[in-house]
Amino acid sequence: MMIRAAGIFARRVHAGQVDKGGAPYTGHLGRVAARARAHADALGLPRQHGEWCEQIGWLHDTIEDTGTTADDLLDAGFDPAVVQAVQLLTRPAGKPYLECVAGIIASGDRLAMIVKLSDNEDNLDPARALPAAPPEHGLRYQRSAEMLHAALAPTPSITARGRDA
């Protein structure tokens, strides 16, 4: 129910926006949502987290690219965990991209990390072909994806005998 609501909300607030390739921006949002859900499922996260990742995927640019506020998202009925992740994914004007990604990782919010990784993957997808994007964007998206993969990787557990086991 809330996944559908997130898609409807995103389509409404992003109406008329296009990506750098001239395609409707909501196509990017839908692909990010689907990728985020797939990542959450592959990581074995609880079903609720997968649903939240999908919602966040739809909503990840609402605060940054529209007049939407966190309060608007809460008032629309989205869970505080969803709204928190959308806020983390909102890049403040003038803040370097990779510094923002490092902040998302430092927050420990796996939902935001999954959606940012999904966003990077969509931005790097050759099928998307963003001719207006400068080459350095591809490099920063690649570096960001590497950072996020490392942060989301399972950490090896230490056995009862310690590190020498």
Looking at residue 94, its pLDDT comes to 93
Per-residue b or e along 112-144, where b marks 16 or more CB atoms closer than 10 Å to that residue's CB: bbbbbbbbbbbbeeeebebeeeeeeeeebbeeb
Looking at residue 165, its pLDDT comes to 43
From CA 146, how far away is CA 159, in angstroms rounded? 28
Looking at residue 127, its pLDDT comes to 80
CB atoms within 10 A of CB 54: 26
pLDDT tens string for the chain (165 positions)? 899 999 999 999 999 999 877 889 999 999 999 999 999 999 999 999 999 999 999 999 999 999 999 999 999 999 999 999 999 999 999 999 999 999 999 999 999 999 999 999 998 888 876 666 677 778 999 999 999 999 999 876 555 555 444
CB–CB of 56/77 below 8 Å? no
